[in-house]
Amino acid sequence: MGDHQEHIVMVPFLALGHMIPFLALAKRIQERTSYKITIVSTPFNVKYLSSTIAKDSTKQVVQSPKNISLVSLPYNSCEHGLPPNTENTEALPLKDMVTIFNSTLSLKDPLTKLVLEITDKDGKPPLCIVSDTFMGFASEVAKTCGTFNVSFTTAGAYGTAAYVSVWLNLPHLLASDGVFKMPGFDDSCCFFSVNQLHPFMKSADGNDPWSKVLKSLLSPSLDSLGFLCNSAEEIEPMGVKAIKNLTKLPVWCIGPLLPQCMLKKGEKDEIFEPRIGKDHGLSPEKCIEWLSKHSQSSVLYISFGSQNTISTSQMMALALGLEDSERPFIWVIRPPIGFDIKGEFRSEWLPKGFQERMETSNKGLIVKSWAPQLQILSHPSTGAFLTHCGWNSVLESLSQGVPIISWPLAAEQAFNSKMLMEEMGVCVELTKGYQSDIEKEHVKKVVDIVLGKSGKGKEMKEKANEIGLCIRAAVKEEGDFKGSSVKALDDFISTLLCRRNMSF
């Protein structure tokens, strides 16, 4: 091998919730090896990722990522029919998602050129490409360049298996009475409801634009050396088995790729690495101050992630239900469907005087647009999380033993919600989608159950605590002890080296 420095090229999908775990994976590999890691994306996303890294290092939270470089590939959103400077899914209406998926295919040739350039300089191709499961074209690039592709799913194993299976097999076309069997899943957990599919999935028949693009992006991912999954094997064994059945590939559960502060609960001097470098609608200190005025596990935290929102009528019903429940809450709020999600919030979207009433009585804190989610979830006063079930939010919540009220909106979120309810017992589903009606009475009922100190609420809290312990054990490394995710990462790295040695 001599002085040869191994190189890994990473290709995340164009969404913040994907880029952040990729960056976290790069840092974990960097901590264990001397490999060079190049993360590629479009110019805007590269600028954004660099600012996130810069923020980390000024806080001296992470080692300076000396072996991680960021490289821009040429990309012009207008050429693909997207609004100018739209380079990721943030604030992108759901209907335009199919366009951004299609646009990623334009990165294939520049990626090939980059990987060949790296090869030329080094004499050897990179050790592998780690590509997002949604960026399957990288598997073809890897073949062209004489290396391997490893597919990294930033979602959980269960959600990924169900999502990939739907797009590749269209099993809902065989549904009877609204129920169908999900290929890849064991008999004990293979029945899914058509209602668990979001509208684009429900109407997919193989010839619509969604089926076409997702099949072309997902199916080459199955032609990889293996799958990396941002999860711990112990917390979703059914899902891990389903991905293995579906892909016939090795699966390395190397997660959760959460900041250290979420994984070492109870330690002093916790430092919060910003996962996403954004300005908060309210400072972390103000949120903590507010939370500290409330009793243990009493506060409901509400957020729909980095790119989703709900409808005007749903917003109204949610507000009325919260007010009736009289439970304290922090609500990250942004303009409803049909309005500019990054625009100003108008008070008419909430019941008259709602914000003032909630704030003067200390019952509710409304945070515009973006909240310090990690600090909120790890505060002892937070008792439940009403979430869209994006996988990062799920992991952040469970790592802190916080049970979930789910309101899945898109992607694989409804599958995550099903697993949280049926396999883990840590969740109650409030509703799904941004088109369904919700009633304030139902909001109050669900919030009362989950925040309740006895019965189902107590049971869910205990289960969430158990899962939190499993998560922390999986990523623990102390003396001779290595948790399952640490072992999986080591096994992944040694498998790569072994395969490389077999090829040269």
296 close to 379: Cβ distance less than 8 angstroms: no
- Give the separation between CA 347 and CA 328, rounded to whole angstroms: 20
Q: Which of 147, 307, 309, 381 binds ligand UDP (CB under 6 A)?
A: 307
Residue 345 found at the interface with ligand UDP (CB under 6 A)? no
Per CB under 6 A, the segment of 51-59, 134-142, 370-378, 483-491 that binds ligand UDP is 370-378
Q: Which of 168, 261, 276, 288 binds ligand UDP (CB under 6 A)?
A: 276
Per CB under 6 A, the segment of 188-196, 248-256, 302-310, 432-440 that binds ligand UDP is 302-310
Cβ burial 3-17 (10 Å sphere, 16+ → b, else e): eeebbbbbbbbbbbb
Q: How many helical (H) and strand (E) elements, i.e. helices and strands, does the chain have?
A: 19, 17
Strand partners, 131: 11, 151
CB of 119 to ligand UDP, least distance (A): 33
34 close to 1: Cβ distance less than 8 angstroms: no
411 close to 433: Cβ distance less than 8 angstroms: no
Residue 396 found at the interface with ligand UDP (CB under 6 A)? yes
CB of 45 to ligand UDP, least distance (A): 14
139 close to 9: Cβ distance less than 8 angstroms: no
Contacts of 482 (CB under 8 A, 6+ apart): 476, 490
Of 376, 389, 377, 395, nearest to 485 (Cα)? 395
Whichever of 5 and 435 has its CB closer to ligand UDP, that residue is 435
Reduce the DSSP state of residue 142 to 3 states and report it: helix
Residue 305 found at the interface with ligand UDP (CB under 6 A)? yes
Per-residue x/- track, 169-208, ligand UDP (CB under 6 A): ----------------------------------------
Whichever of 135 and 371 has its CB closer to ligand UDP, that residue is 371
Residue 91 found at the interface with ligand UDP (CB under 6 A)? no
- Give the separation between CA 78 and CA 312, rounded to whole angstroms: 30
Residue 405 found at the interface with ligand UDP (CB under 6 A)? no
Residue 418 found at the interface with ligand UDP (CB under 6 A)? no
- Give the separation between CA 10 and CA 39, rounded to whole angstroms: 5
223 close to 139: Cβ distance less than 8 angstroms: yes
Whichever of 4 and 95 has its CB closer to ligand UDP, that residue is 95
CB of 417 to ligand UDP, least distance (A): 13
Residue 56 found at the interface with ligand UDP (CB under 6 A)? no
Q: Which of 306, 314, 375, 484 binds ligand UDP (CB under 6 A)?
A: 306
449 close to 455: Cβ distance less than 8 angstroms: yes
CB of 398 to ligand UDP, least distance (A): 12
CB of 391 to ligand UDP, least distance (A): 5
448 close to 427: Cβ distance less than 8 angstroms: no
Residue 275 found at the interface with ligand UDP (CB under 6 A)? yes
Residue 116 found at the interface with ligand UDP (CB under 6 A)? no
Q: Which residues bind ligand UDP (CB under 6 A)?
A: 15, 17, 275-276, 303, 305-308, 332, 370-371, 373-374, 390-393, 396
